[in-house]
Amino acid sequence: AQSVSQHNHHVILSEAASLELGCNYSYGGTVNLFWYVQYPGQHLQLLLKYFSGDPLVKGIKGFEAEFIKSKFSFNLRKPSVQWSDTAEYFCAVNEGQGGKLIFGQGTELSVKP
Amino acid sequence: DAGITQSPRYKITETGRQVTLMCHQTWSHSYMFWYRQDLGHGLRLIYYSAAADITDKGEVPDGYVVSRSKTENFPLTLESATRSQTSVYFCASSDGGEMADTQYFGPGTRLTVL
């Protein structure tokens, strides 16, 4: 079965530091990839997604992610984090047709002001 | 623009009781999903539905029942609640289509089973 692995469970950064959250998946075929964010007490919101084309995807709030097919990775990046980026971040991969997503375990990001 | 709503937002129940969590979406999305979120496990798919009257099991379906008589509603029932079902439950919907589309999530229901 397909799996999604997020290597960092909890990341603590100071404001203005750069961020990179790792995500690897196991499926060898064509994939659609997503990053979702969950702010404290809120529901999940889409940050960005990759379906095809340019492997460098830009999302909301200055986030971007790079799809590297050879490494089965879809890492999330932001050059300069803000306190308001404190949240939990989930990587997800679709499993074939029908919209089913497989989620990683999540990475909790804490940004110190 | 109501989007996707869940009720109740918080629920405390006792072991053995039946509980139904409601999910309603206003977009007429064809696909709807139920997930549970537990520490260390991320989100795990319980059940999903491709259209009215079409449902299928996800990763962790045991102990849950779903139905979808109308496109906009997708209730999740715990037939006999157990403590292991204490969790936060999220409903989601998407347009679906040939490949996975963006899923939109509801605010969640925090369920505690005593």
Q: What is the pLDDT of residues B25-36, one digit of tens each?
A: 998 888 999 999
A100-109, B38-47, B89-98: least confident range: B89-98
Torsion sign over Cα A46, B8, B87, B76? negative
Work out the angle at residue B109's Cα, subtended by the Cα atoms of residues B103 and B112, and round it to the nearest 5 degrees: 140
* pLDDT value, residue A7: 87
Do residues A71 and A58 lie in contact, with contact meaning Cβ atoms separated by under 8 Å?
Answer: no
* pLDDT value, residue B76: 98
Q: Which two tokens stand for residue B106?
A: 């509801």
Considering CB atoms only, which of B41, B50, B92 is closest to A98?
B50
* pLDDT value, residue B99: 46
CB-CB under 8 Å, B50 with A43: no
Q: How confident is the model at residue B1 (pLDDT cuts 50, 70, 90)?
A: low
Task: Give B9 or B39, the one with higher predicted confidence.
Answer: B9
CB-CB under 8 Å, A94 with B100: yes
Chain B positions in Cβ-Cβ contact with residue A6 (cut-off 8 Å): 42
Do residues B57 and A98 lie in contact, with contact meaning Cβ atoms separated by under 8 Å?
Answer: no
* pLDDT value, residue B100: 54
Q: In the predicted model, is pLDDT for residue A90 greater than 60?
A: yes
CB-CB under 8 Å, A42 with B50: no
Per-residue burial over A46-61, b = 16 or more CB atoms within 10 Å of its CB, e = otherwise: bbbbbbeeeeebebee
Q: How confident is the model at residue A94 (pLDDT cuts 50, 70, 90)?
A: confident
Chain A: residue nearest B102 by CA? A46
Considering CB atoms only, which of A49, A51, A106 is closest to B42?
A106
CB-CB under 8 Å, A97 with B99: yes
Cross-strand partners of A109: A11, A87
Calculate mean pLDDT across residues A71-82: 96
B45: left (phi over 0), alpha (psi -120 to 50) or beta: beta
Chain A: residue nearest B98 by CA? A97
